[in-house]
Amino acid sequence: MYELLPYHYQSQEINRLTLAHFIISGLHFLGARDRVDKDVVAKWVLSFQALPSNRVSLKDGEFYGFFGSRSSQFPIDENGDLIHNGSHLASTYCALAILKVIGHDLSIIDSESVLFSMKNLQQDDGSFMPIHIGGETDLRFVYCAAAICYMLDNWSGMDKENAKNYILNCQSYDGGFGLIPGSESHGGATYCAIASLRLMGYIGVDLLSNDSSSSIIDPSLILNWCLQRQANDGGFQGRTNKPSDTCYAFWIGAVLKLIGGDALIDKIALRKFLLSCQSKYGGFSKFSGQLPDLYHSYYGYTAFSLLEEPSLSPLCPELGLPLLAASGI
């Protein structure tokens, strides 16, 4: 992983930190965090941080987060400035997640550069670009920004109120959330919306059991949409009329957990579906009968953690990380 990728993952070279997150955080869920050398991992991850040549550079409009791989990490020029800064919000989330999982002290990294420059990515409507040279603006990157601020315990990197308004504008008539305002409700987008609101402190625990009249969202409407996503085969679909997919057991299941509706999941049927996607070679695939991959394996573990599988570490649903790691233990 540090130097070479297996053949089938070489097209994902640009997402090397993300793949590492799935591996290292996945090992934590399996109780095998000691299989990796924490010092080596920390040094490797920190080597991907984009650092400004001086504090004045923080005002140049660029983002000084983490690169996703060596192929997006260009050398510095003779003045110590980055020739091309390709640091990315999603890669920064993954980098911090890895460091948290291995127990690295996040207070000793250059969080000021990350947070100050991250404000350059927030748009007037409250959304975020993933990279300062442009790109899509949607709920995925609002979530990444919120998770980054939460993990660094510093909210100076974003305008929370503006981000909250953008999130609420993405809610559809059926209760789910689309990636952008006016788009179709989607399981991943709904997770990004609800988890971001929880991380930012706009919604509390177990919304369904508490008085929801003062809540900024209608949890019963979200509950209805999420429960409709559990299909006849026991799995969860990401959108209406789509096949069940291993990863949505987490994306939808975590939303239900966050609003206090997870008791209404047909857990026996979901467990049966997930086991049908487990490979005899280890790991999980997207659909039953396919080869496993790191992405679906990781979200298979998190889904089983939501189902309170005894052999797995408990889950922090809003961060998508092992609970003890998310709590700094």
With 90 as the cut, is the pLDDT of residue 307 above it? yes
By C-alpha distance, which of 173, 257, 252, 187 is closest to 218?
A: 173
Measure the CA angle with vertex 273, ends 266 and 208; round to 5°: 30
Q: At what angle do helices 248-259 and 294-306 cross, to 10 degrees?
A: 30
At residue 142's C-alpha, the angle toward residues 195 and 130, to 5°, is 140
What is the reported pLDDT for 4? 67
pTM: predicted TM-score of the whole model, two decimal places? 0.94
Q: Which amino acid is at 157?
A: G
Q: Which residues of 64-102 are buried (b: 16+ CB within 10 A; e: fewer)?
A: bbbbbbeebbeeeeeeeebeebbbbbbbbbbbbbbbbbb
Domain definitions of the chain by residue range:
7-326
Counting every residue written for the chain, the total comes to: 329
User: Can you tell me the mean pLDDT for 2-19?
Assistant: 79
- Amino acid identity, residue 239? R
Percentage of the chain modeled with pLDDT above 90:
76
User: pLDDT tens-digit profile of 148-169?
Assistant: 999 999 999 999 999 999 999 9
Q: What is the pLDDT of residue 180?
A: 98
- 304 pLDDT above the threshold of 80: yes
Give me the mean pLDDT over the 87-102 stretch: 96
Question: Mean of the per-residue pLDDT values for the chain?
Answer: 91
Residue 311 has pLDDT above 70, yes or no: yes
How far apart are the two ends of the chain, measured CA to CA in Å? 26
CATH annotation of 7-326: 1.50.10.20
Segments in 153-247 forming alpha helices (H)? 160-169, 187-199, 219-227
Arithmetic mean of pLDDT, 299-327: 94
9-37 mean pLDDT: 91
Which SS3 state, helix, strand or coil, does residue 291 take?
Answer: coil
**Structure confidence at residue 52 as a pLDDT band (50, 70, 90):** confident
201-245 residue pLDDT tens? 999 988 888 766 668 999 999 999 999 999 999 999 999 999 999
Question: Any alpha helices (H) in the chain, and if so which ranges?
Answer: 16-29, 38-46, 89-101, 111-118, 139-152, 160-169, 187-199, 219-227, 248-259, 267-276, 294-306, 323-326
Q: How many CB atoms lie under 10 A from the CB of residue 46? A: 15
Average the pLDDT over 176-187 and give the result.
97
